[in-house]
Amino acid sequence: MIRKATAADVPAVLGLVRTLAEFERAPHEVTLTESQMVADLESGHFEAWLAWNPRGEALGLVLCHRRYSTWKGLTAHLEDLVVLESYRGHGLGRRLLEVAVAWAQSIGAQRLHWEVLDWNQPAIDFYEGLGADLNRDWIPCRLAGDALTQFTFRYPRLL
């Protein structure tokens, strides 16, 4: 069963996020707390869907949020797609991706965007098999942690 996540599901959502971070070799990067995630969910900053087994265990997650493109207008971002390792290869990942596509269509998004690690060949094969364009011409950039919080402004801040 797949259903939209509620505040009560945040422990399961964050648990799967931590599982993904372990897989991506970056468990120390997850600093988000359950209370912050609940606040962000309730504020509409993201939407998430969980796949459950009949025993009530969360098996997979897809988490999305809105983005804006100055070339296309409203777009959608798939932040995380994770299926517990023992449940991979049975169509659950595709079903969760279908939920993300349906959500993107429902909000009128002009595209659905996500990233995949260059060493995660099974995921690359999965996405390419679905017809996704893996754009290797663009390099993702980010300011995070101290680089963001301690950024040095050269000009007076406008905000």
The token pair that represents 48 in the structure block = 């998430």
Predicted local confidence at residue 57, as pLDDT: 96
Identify the DSSP state of 155.
S
Q: What topology does CATH give the domain 2-149? A: Aminopeptidase (3.40.630)
Nearest to 114 by CA among 62, 154, 56: 62
Alpha-carbon distance of 70 to 61, in angstroms, equals 29
Q: Examine the residue annotation and report whether 127 is marked as an active-site residue of this protein.
A: yes
What's at 90, amino acid-wise?
H
Alpha-carbon distance of 47 to 10, in angstroms, equals 11
Tell if the pTM clears 0.85, that is, is over it.
yes
Query: From first to last of its 159 residues, what are the pLDDT tens digits of the chain?
Result: 999 999 999 999 999 999 999 999 999 999 999 999 999 999 999 999 999 999 999 999 999 999 999 999 999 999 999 999 999 999 999 999 999 999 999 999 999 999 999 999 999 999 999 999 999 899 899 999 999 999 999 999 999
The token pair that represents 103 in the structure block = 């959500």
Angle between the N-to-C axes of helices 10-23 and 34-42, in degrees from 0 to 180, rounded to the nearest 10: 120
Neighbours of 77 (CB within 10 A): 18
Q: Three-class SS of residue 149?
A: helix
